[in-house]
Amino acid sequence: MKNLKNQIGIEKVETGIEGFDLISEGGLPKGRTTLIAGTSGSAKTVFAVQFLSEGIIKKDEPGVFVTFEEPPDDIRKNVISLGWDVAKWEQEGKWAFVDASPVIGENSVISGEYDLGALLARIEHAVNKINATRISMDSIGSIFSRFNDPGLVRNELFKIASVVKQMGATAIITAERTEEYGDIARFGIEEFVADNVIILRNVLESEKRRRTMEILKFRGTSHQKGEYPFTVIKNTGIIAIPLSGIELKQRSSTVRISSGNAELDRMCGGGFFRDSIILVSGATGCGKTMLSAEFAKDAIKNEQRAVIFAFEESREQLFRNAIGWGIDFEQMEADGILKVVCRYPEAEGLEDHLIIIKRVIKDFKPHRIVVDSLSALERVSTVKGFREFVIALTSFIKHQEVAGLLTSTTGDLMGGTSVTDAHISTITDTIILLRYVEMFGEMRRGITALKMRGSMHNKDIREFNIDDKGMHIGKSFTNVTGILSGHPVFTSTEEVDRMTSLFK
């Protein structure tokens, strides 16, 4: 019985492609052929090359690359920038090409029956020569245009897929699609490798390109469903961003850390939790950056490290402003306790921002992370893409078991919320609202702890001022109502007393 079970279960081969192994719950089905379908420019070839490269780099598994479209020399050159030295691997006997690219100037005449026996013999030969366990075939569409009989070609490819299976190698075949949402692939290719299908998409949405991958099916084994964003970056290749692949299993501690402001700590019932996500929301200029600077500065006291990702201000601007609040970022950086990363939101796609943020966090190992502001990133992405980014970012921060302070700029000066707030308010542990309050021809500022998960907190809306020593939280606006909705109404002291006595 146990034996039978072993025979039925389908093993998987870890591809080594970051994120993909999570989405696929362990990699590609071992000893099978998987179809990778995508429109032109959807990174099919990169996937095919990376499948072999990661095998060589991470597991010392040799691979055979069958190319139907680009000549091997083009591939060698194209993937150098992704950090893969194919020529070197060829010399070491870890990589072999089967060159099935079109011969230039060749115009063959067809006379009578034929098959693709030579191609099959060459693949077998290459696999045996280097003991390959991985095979990539890219891209299969072009072979159909070179032979006059699609049915025959399909049949021959089916034969190749079954021989590959017998050899015990894990293979991928890439195929062209004409539409992002439509038939799986042209020429009915999916029919012969229908066991496993992955779709790569490169969708143009609101003038922005968004790459996603979707595992359509893995016969006989499980995988995550739906589309997952991915990106292709220099020296790395494809990185997929699993969202539901991330489990909510992080521990939460009861250790408190200071917000950098003693009064705010008191309002939050003794400070923020060490591994929590704090959202600071407010209109432009009402003190979000200052609050995050104080939060970062507090790292010094506790011999911690902090990192600030600034998307709204340049380095010089940020440093100058901080000095105005009595904080010397330059010294902190020199001491190695702070790292400031300033980037234009438009400089990269959201996926790339996420990967950069993750890398900095992994390298610097900070105890406190500030993103100022998260809402600045909203404009470089689609709503869906942004939501995925926020989920991926916050869950990554939580996994590091550090505190993350994210700021969000609201559109309205007086009240209201931003898209950012809507996306992350349920993921955050703490929400601090900063609001302008118009009173008697004067703009004053109010602060309140709207939410403090797992702790008692002060529910008052308190007035605060900012001077050269930072933020000073004063008394509550006891006789003003409607601050959060953006319509403050002044109520006389007698009225407040009367209302309070009513509920006694």
Partner 1 sequence: MNKFQLRLYVTGKTPKSERAIANLKRICERDLSGLYELRIIDVLENPQLAEDEKILATPTLIKDLPPPLKRIIGDLSNSEKVLLGLDLSPILDSDGPKEDTQ
Quote the crossing angle between the two packed helices 150-167 and 117-130, to the nearest 10°.
Answer: 20
Nearer to partner 1, 121 or 334 (CB): 121
Interface residue with partner 1, options 59, 122, 217, 315 (CB under 8 A) = 122
Could you tell me which stretch among 1-9, 21-29, 110-118, 421-429 binds partner 1 (CB under 8 A)?
Answer: 110-118
The distance of closest approach from Cβ of residue 111 to partner 1 in the complex, given in angstroms and rounded to an integer, is 4
320: β partners: none
Q: Does 99 bind partner 1 (CB under 8 A)?
A: yes
**Considering the complex, what minimum distance in angstroms separates the CB of residue 109 from partner 1?**
4
Q: Does 86 bind partner 1 (CB under 8 A)?
A: no
Which of these is catalytic: 18, 54, 227, 312? Answer: 312
Choose which of 115, 183, 335, 495 interacts with partner 1 (CB under 8 A).
Answer: 115
Q: Catalytic one among 54, 61, 69, 227?
A: 69
> Are the beta carbons of 407 and 278 closer than 8 angstroms?
no
Give, as ranges, the residues between 425 and 484 that touch partner 1 (CB under 8 A).
none
Q: How far is C-alpha 487 from the chain's CA centre?
A: 39
Give 68's contacts (C-beta < 8 A, 6+ positions apart). 100, 101, 137, 138, 139, 140, 141, 142, 143
- Taking CB under 8 A as the rule, does residue 90 contact partner 1? no
Task: Identify which of 261, 298, 299, 272 has the alpha carbon closest to the alpha carbon of residue 431.
Answer: 272
125 binds partner 1 (CB under 8 A): yes
**Whether 312 is catalytic:** yes
| Pick 146 or 384: Cβ nearer partner 1 | 146
What does the DSSP 8-state code read for residue 108?
Answer: -
Q: Residue 265 to residues 25, 162, 369, 430, 471: CA-CA distances in angstroms?
A: 42, 66, 18, 12, 12
Angle at 209 between CA 208 and CA 212, to 5 degrees: 135
Residues 143-182 close enough to bind partner 1 by CB under 8 A: 143, 146-147
Minimal distance, residue 89 CB to partner 1, in Å? 18
Tokens of 460: 């008052």
Minimum distance from CB of 77 to partner 1 (Å)? 19
> To the nearest whole angstrom, how small is the minimum distance from the Cβ of residue 155 to partner 1?
13
112 binds partner 1 (CB under 8 A): yes
CA distances from 5 to 8, 29, 166, 178 (A): 5, 16, 20, 41
CB of 12 to partner 1, least distance (A): 30
Pairing of the two strands 170-176 and 237-240: unpaired
Residue 114 or residue 344: which is nearer to partner 1 going by CB?
114
Cα-to-chain-centroid distance, residue 238: 11
Query: How many residues are given for the chain?
Result: 504
Q: Does 347 help bind partner 1 (rule: CB under 8 A)?
A: no
Q: Which of 17, 35, 56, 116 binds partner 1 (CB under 8 A)?
A: 116
Q: Is position 14 annotated as part of the catalytic site?
A: no
Told to check if 124 binds partner 1 by CB under 8 A, we report yes
Instruction: Kindly state the DSSP code that residue 32 receives in the 8-state scheme.
Output: S
Provide the binding-site residues for partner 1, judged by CB under 8 A.
98-101, 103, 106-122, 124-126, 143, 146-147
Question: Which residues are catalytic, by number?
Answer: 69, 312
